[in-house]
Amino acid sequence: MGKWGIGLGLLILMLLAGCEETSPAALDPVPFHADDECHVCGMIIADFPGPKGEAVSPKQVRRFCSVAEMLGWWSQPENQVGESRLYVHDMTREDWNRPDDAHLIDASQAWYVIGGDLPGAMGVTVASFAEEAAAEDWAGRHGGQVYRFEELEPSLWRPSAPMTGHH
């Protein structure tokens, strides 16, 4: 194979690598950047403490300054069409003021503490955890109620939400 054949082969491989957006890897969590803006409110995400959220689809990554903002966006039926995966920070291993993107977890498998005494970005604080015991421990130290993803309803993270029924 001559130099043109090798060059053409490399070009084809590079083009195929660019088609990654339809592969399963394209739906993996994506690190946040210092200048990312919240998809809902337009605020700079890094300016706020607490866990963040993101919705990854084959064509786009939507980032949110808080888990509450992500849940609010996701609760709209028009946002639940197509293939998307939701991710949140596992706050078990995190500094509240600087969550580490190495610990983004599948939001549908997470445990959530709604309420609590630590500030979040927008509205009611929603903290996310990979394990129930970690969520229970955090709620015991900071307040709030523990929920699974499938138990979450918009009324829970709106500022006027009553905090009853600990699970």
| pLDDT score recorded for residue 121 | 84
Residue closest to 39 by CA, chosen among 57, 24, 27: 57
CA distances from 77 to 15, 73, 81, 132 (A): 35, 9, 7, 28
The structure tokens 């786009």 sit at 60
pLDDT in tens, the chain (167 residues): 555 444 444 334 443 444 333 444 679 999 999 999 999 999 999 999 999 999 999 989 999 999 999 999 999 999 987 889 999 999 997 789 999 999 999 999 999 999 989 988 877 899 999 999 999 999 999 999 999 999 999 888 775 544 444 33
Cα separation, 91 vs 51, in Å, equals 7
Q: Residue 147, Cβ neighbours under 10 Å: how many?
A: 21
Task: Please report, as a single letter, which amino acid is at residue 129.
Answer: F
Q: Please, which residues bridge with residue 62 across strands?
A: 55
Q: Please state the φ and ψ torsions of residue 133, each to the nearest 5 degrees.
A: -60, -40
Residue closest to 46 by CA, chosen among 61, 59, 58, 31: 31
